[in-house]
Amino acid sequence: MIKLAWQTPQTLADVQAAVQTAIDLEFSTLPPYLYAKMTILPGSNAPAFARLNAIVGQEMIHMCLACNIMNAIGGTVQINPPSYPGPLPGDVDAGLIIHLLPFSQAAMAQGMAIEEPSEAIDPPELQAALVAPDVTIGEFYDLLDKALQALPATAWLPNNNQISDQQFFPGQIFAVNNKDDAHKAITQIVSEGEGTPVTPTDNGSPLDFQNELAHFYRFWEMDRNQVLVKDPNPVGFAWGGPLGLDFSQVYPAIADPESHDFSQDPPAAQQAQAACNAAYTALVNGLVSAFRGGTGGLGLAVRAMFDLRMAAMTALTTPLADGHSVAGAAFVYSPNAAPQGDAA
Amino acid sequence: MSILEFPRIYFRGDIAWDPVTTNNYPTVDRPPLAPAAYDENACDATLSQVAVSAQSVAGFRQAAINEVGNFGNWNPAGSYRCPFYDTAISGVDVGNGLDTNDTFAKAPVNFTGMLVDCEPYGAYTSQLFFDDMSFGIEGGCRIYGKRVERFNDRFINFSANPSNNMIAGVASVMWQTCFPKNAGLEVDAFDSNVLQALQGCLSDADVLGLMVRFVTYRTVYYDDDTLANGSPATAAAAAALQAKLNAGGFQPNQARSMLVGTVGLWRQGEVFTEASDRALISTMAAIPGQTDPSRGGPTVATAFARTTATGLALDFSNTMPCTNRATDKFDLGPLTVTAADPPPAVAIAQIATIASSQYNRKAFEATSGIIDIPLPAATLAQLAGMDLAITTADGTAFLTEDVVRAVPLQANVYINQGETAELSVQVYLRGVPAGAGVTVTMSDLNASQPTSVKQVTNSGGVATFPVLGTTGEIIGWVFQTGDNPVLPVGGVFTPLNNTYTYLRVLPADANIAALPPTWDNVHNYVLASWEAMAPCMDNWLRLGDQQQVLAYANLIRTLTDPVNFESFRFMPVTRDMSVGQRTLLYNFLGFGAPAAALNAAVATKPDGIDQQALSRSMRAPVIN
């Protein structure tokens, strides 16, 4: 589980730092989720692919919304590519080390740990109760929301490098121009990640604000290989039929390719990794451009994302030195290739 | 009885539109000519009227970007994807009135289609190719439908909202498809009353499955609902898009519309792809104080009607025009439903009155434009043999029944050159399938003279026109009943009232099939056209990269296989690859020729009507 550091902000700069943590946090969830999704063998595990695809899309949206908040309060967005394995940004005691894991129950359990609410609902068939962390991502966002609400009106800069849904994710990304918009953004982020936690006054719900299943519960379904179904019990849900996943239908991908020494692998594998890293670097640079007002920056980032997908597909079919295993994209940023902001 | 029967499920939300728009520009015939354009007969992207080759891809793309400002090309880099968003179940009705508290209410509706025009220049043949559609989520109250056939648009009303005068923002349009109950349809009812009722109905042998009909309206472009055609703000938005496009990357510019829709029963005798209920067609009467529809004024558009067990149900989802961009409806005062005995009788009975509160914006959004009018059983029985109309208090008829109506069984048809299409229509008498002996006339909707062909219905009320595709071209065919219908000659065709099928014949391109399967030939004669026209292809596969194309040969083979034509991911998304092009591509990829397709391309059926000759004769100038 993740425990995030929280110190009550005293200044605008403190709030901006907290928002930057949120940006880093959202960004850092993407590589592990993408790695799991990309390593599913084509044509297999459709329910998992669909769930991961939806989760990845929403995490991208969450990051955009967090960046919008940062720009709205006059900060400068930084895109800080994390390393894997490693802790999530803001994790105070490094209790959870995040790995790039191929599609597996371990990868799903890791997703659950990242998205874990303060108190999940407990469907009847569930045997092991979850232990609530002291501070979850959701609680972090609640505190961040309060800090943002406390900012003076003069701290908000309308229309400052905002990304809307004009080009991508219709209806899901919106400009943040004031504290009300920021509250809406944070509510969306928390709701889609955790649903509604159980509290003394609320029975909780696995559904988000649009009545879709929240990330934690989607991971839980995949972890248990069971569908969470509506049920007339006090919790409202129960574990139903099988989801139909086959965890053997996965590329033989190594975990944490960043830790792997590719110098001993065939040139084709090295080239495939280089292509992945180049595309990832372009993606990060495009995001920086986008959130610093660069013309067409988001389109450049999305183009790079598609390049990354193609490069990863190649890497996942290119054997390493052992002739059997492969590596997905390592998500290694190469800052010397193109400094941040150059695309702006 | 279609979505007008109970139970019904209403939904409401928004849809984004992200088609590539450069293929809307003809290569010839419509000056001023856009440099980057499309030859829809030859299925070629063209640059300055020359088919695009590998060498001119970059030039085409730049020309398309330049057209954003010069020609109003609002989306040269679209993805074709059109998702619903913020769309949810807004209410249900099991026959007791609107219920917003059923446990199915507020469930999300998920859909993403690929928007492709069968006839790219025009506006009458939009299609949404998709794989599945879900109302609610897995594990909860849910309807899940697997696609059998794409959504097709019909009854486009270009005067639905004249105040929203930005590109096609003035229009509204209706979409429909059905989900057969034996083809992957799932209804998970749980504690939902309406879903339980629906499940019960599906066990009826007369019920074939579920029908989904929705209407899209109030389209916004450039994410700015204040823009108007030709305004400085529009020019500025276009310039901003051009700047993005010139920056490189992937720069879609989706439009978006509101939508309302209904899920209901699909019964025997009902057409899959468009409304085949009793049609109350537009009289094109002017709304008092407004510009006449013939000059672009707001138009009260075709509605549909059915009698239910308890009354008369009217589908006004695409009918009442909007008075402003907020989508408030014009208030015509109380409307009267009249029923008349068939001519020559003159007796007209007033059946019911519809208050404006039943068709205003609030009501429209609550029940997706469907209006229920309770009527006694005796009256309902009488209506079966009477002609319906809708009038205002001053006696002006805005809608009158098209009593005997020929409804195409297929909305848009694709064939290869050399193949014969059978264009069939189901004839209805006041919404009920007619029997044998009804004459149906088919004519070219762009006809310049009153030439046509006729067929007579069989015992099931179906008339079929075999049409031979002799060359690459696209023709819209209009169907009318009766011995001497007034043909839509000289541009009087209206998609609101006329029924039609578009037939697209893809050219054989035998000369391309015969080319040596080299990369240069494949790039120049097969791939360059889509590489130029659809930059979004780069996101999946760089069509100008020989190594990538070869590396994904198997996937390309699957995605371009004609058996996957209805699939969401079929390639090319534009559905305009000729048999000759596919042959050359497959030869290059090492698969050999697609035997079935090639055989079909050379086969001819001598009993088919030659589409080209027929169309040419209908369009020939009249010599006095």
Helices A137-149 and A179-194: crossing angle in degrees, nearest 10, is: 170
Say whether B254 and A167 touch across the interface (CB within 8 A).
yes
Mean pLDDT, chain A, rounded, equals 89
Å from A269 to nearest chain B CA? 15
pLDDT score at B120: 96
Using a CB–CB cutoff of 8 Å, tell me whether A143 touches chain B: no
Whether residue B604 has pLDDT greater than 70: no
Inter-chain Cβ pairs, chain A and chain B, closer than 8 A:
92
pLDDT score at A129: 37
Residue written as tokens 């108007």? B228
Using a CB–CB cutoff of 8 Å, tell me whether A241 touches chain B: no
Point out the residue among A228, A299, A314 whose CB comes nearest to the CB of B249.
A299
Give phi and psi for B216, each to the nearest 5: -110, 145
Mean pLDDT of all residues in B158-182: 97
Strand order in the sheet with B370-374: B348-354, B335-340, B387-391, B397-401, B278-282, B303-307, B311-315, B370-374
Residue written as tokens 């349009």? B173
Say whether B250 and A299 touch across the interface (CB within 8 A).
yes
Mean pLDDT of all residues in A234-259: 95
Select from B190, B223, B244, B259 the residue whose CB has the most chain A CBs within 10 Å, as the one to mutate to test that interface.
B244
How long, in residues, is chain B? Answer: 624
pLDDT tens profile A163-199: 999 999 999 999 999 999 999 999 999 888 878 878 7
Partners of B540 on chain A (C-beta within 8 Å) are: 306, 310
B464, HSE (Cβ side, Cα atoms, 13 Å): 10
Mean pLDDT of all residues in B322-332: 98
Whether residue A71 has pLDDT greater than 80: yes
CB B513 within 8 A of CB B593: yes
- Say if the ipTM goes beyond 0.85: yes
Residue written as tokens 């098209």? B402
Per-position b or e across A26-43, b if 16+ CB within 10 A of its CB: bbbbbbbbbbbbbbbeee
For chain B, the 3-state helix, strand and coil shares in percent, each to the nearest 5, are 20, 35, 45
Mean pLDDT of all residues in B511-529: 97
Structure tokens at B566: 């209805």
Point out the residue among B86, B246, B248 whose CB comes nearest to the CB of A171.
B86
CB A293 within 8 A of CB A344: yes
CB B250 within 8 A of CB B77: yes
pLDDT score at A342: 39
pLDDT score at A1: 59
pLDDT score at B611: 80
Mean pLDDT, chain B, rounded, equals 94
Nearest CA in chain A to B245: A296
Mean pLDDT of all residues in B309-323: 97
Percent of chain B clearing pLDDT 70 (strictly above): 96
State how far the Cα of A281 lies from the Cα of A283, in Å rounded to an integer.
5
Nearest CA in chain A to B103: A230
Using a CB–CB cutoff of 8 Å, tell me whether A164 touches chain B: yes
Lowest mean pLDDT among A115-129, A291-305, B105-119, B465-479: A115-129
Point out the residue among A211, A295, A300 whose CB comes nearest to the CB of B243.
A295
pLDDT score at A96: 84
pLDDT tens profile B547-578: 999 999 999 999 999 999 999 999 999 999 99
CB B445 within 8 A of CB B427: no
Name which residue leads in pLDDT, A120 or A235. A235
pLDDT tens profile B28-72: 876 778 999 999 999 999 999 999 999 999 999 999 999 999 899
pLDDT tens profile B357-392: 999 999 999 999 999 999 999 999 999 999 999 999
Per-position b or e across B99-116, b if 16+ CB within 10 A of its CB: beebbbbbbbbbbbbbbb
Mean pLDDT of all residues in A238-262: 96
Structure tokens at B413: 């048809």
Say whether A295 and B247 touch across the interface (CB within 8 A).
yes
pLDDT score at B491: 81
pLDDT score at B602: 46
Strand-pair category, B387-391 with B278-282 = unpaired
Point out the residue among A210, A286, A303 whose CB comes nearest to the CB of B108.
A210
Tell which residue, A75, A82, A62, A71, has the closest CA to residue A138.
A62
Q: How confident is the model at residue B607 (pLDDT cuts 50, 70, 90)?
A: low
Å from B96 to nearest chain A CA? 25
Partners of B83 on chain A (C-beta within 8 Å) are: 170
Say whether B253 and A211 touch across the interface (CB within 8 A).
no
Å from A95 to nearest chain B CA? 33
**Per-window interface: A 174-213 vs B, CB < 8 A:** 210-213
Partners of B138 on chain A (C-beta within 8 Å) are: 47, 227
Whether residue A207 has pLDDT greater than 90: no
Residue written as tokens 């649009």? A210
Whether residue B298 has pLDDT greater than 60: yes
Partners of A286 on chain B (C-beta within 8 Å) are: 249
CB B145 within 8 A of CB B130: no
pLDDT tens profile A260-313: 999 999 999 999 999 999 999 999 999 999 999 999 999 999 999 999 999 999
State how far the Cα of A129 lies from the Cα of B408, in Å rounded to an integer.
59
pLDDT score at B544: 96
Helices A179-194 and A215-224: crossing angle in degrees, nearest 10, is: 10
Å from A320 to nearest chain B CA? 19
Find the helix or strand (DSSP H, E) in which A108 lies: helix A105-115
Lowest mean pLDDT among A79-93, B214-228, B532-546: A79-93
Select from B110, B224, B241, B251 the residue whose CB has the most chain A CBs within 10 Å, as the one to mutate to test that interface.
B251
Percent of chain B clearing pLDDT 90 (strictly above): 88
pLDDT score at A94: 60
Å from A268 to nearest chain B CA? 14
